[in-house]
Amino acid sequence: MTEPEAYSPWMEDLRKRFARSWPARPPVSERPLDTGSVALRPAAVLIPLYVREKALWTLFTKRTDLVEHHKGQISFPGGGKHAADANLWETAVRETEEEIGVSRKGVRILGALPRLVTVTEFEVAPFVGAIPYPVTFAPRPGEVEAIIEVPLAYLLDPMVVEERPVKWKGKDVMTLVYHYKGHAIWGATARILADLLTVMRDGDEAASAGD
């Protein structure tokens, strides 16, 4: 697998964008009701960015129905923190390597997004990182059904997102829903994606990259 270059101009640009301060706000939670003093489990996800066809792309994983949490849903690579992980960034890149085969050594950190709490009682730390491209992905059998690659320019179109109720365990949960080629991206992943796109809209050239 090809290692990415040291921080290229598009990476440096995004590192500056992600260094922004976020307005003060309570932790975003998917949980419809306050469940009291539940001990939250630390977790992290990686939002991979890479240049493909002179534009910035990201990817999602479609989970199988065999996993413990979020069966069949679309998410960013990631998972719960292991005792051996030095920090949550290490969690994000380890999980990415395990789930889709991208070496943790080849990922360049660009920044982080606000944390959120999921209905499954994880406190998720989202990180943004540059990955090499081209790269051969290796979805983990039994965990990752498919890898969905999406150009950021597509996701920046306001016509591809809506807010509506989604059935979860027999209940209607209001959520953002992004649509891409028959896939619906909702829940925690949609909230993280919305924060990512807020950063990308900070400049006219955010969704494209030079040679």
Is residue 162 within 8 Å of residue 37, measured between CB atoms?
no
Q: What is the rounded CA–CA span in Å between residue 63 and residue 38?
A: 26
Lowest mean pLDDT among 82-91, 97-106, 168-177, 200-209: 200-209
Quote the tokens at residue 22.
């976020």
DSSP character at residue 160? G
Nearest one of 7, 58, 55 to 211, comparing CA atoms: 55
Q: What is the average pLDDT value for the chain, to the nearest integer?
A: 87
Give the chain's radius of gyration (CA, Å): 16
Helices 9-18/187-200 angle, 10° precision? 110
Q: With left for phi above 0 and alpha for psi between -120 and 50, is residue 74 left, alpha or beta?
A: beta
State the CATH architecture for 9-22+40-156+184-200. Alpha-Beta Complex (3.90)
For 55-113, the pLDDT digits (tens) are 999 999 998 866 555 567 899 999 999 999 999 999 999 999 999 999 999 999 999 99
Taking the C-alpha atoms of 46, 49, 50 and 56 in order, what is their torsion angle to the nearest 10 degrees? 160
46 pLDDT band, cuts 50/70/90, is: very high
Domain coordinates of the chain in residue numbers? 9-22+40-156+184-200
Angle at 94 between CA 15 and CA 18, to 5 degrees: 15
pTM of the full predicted structure? 0.87
> Model confidence over 143-166: pLDDT tens digits?
999 999 999 999 999 999 999 987
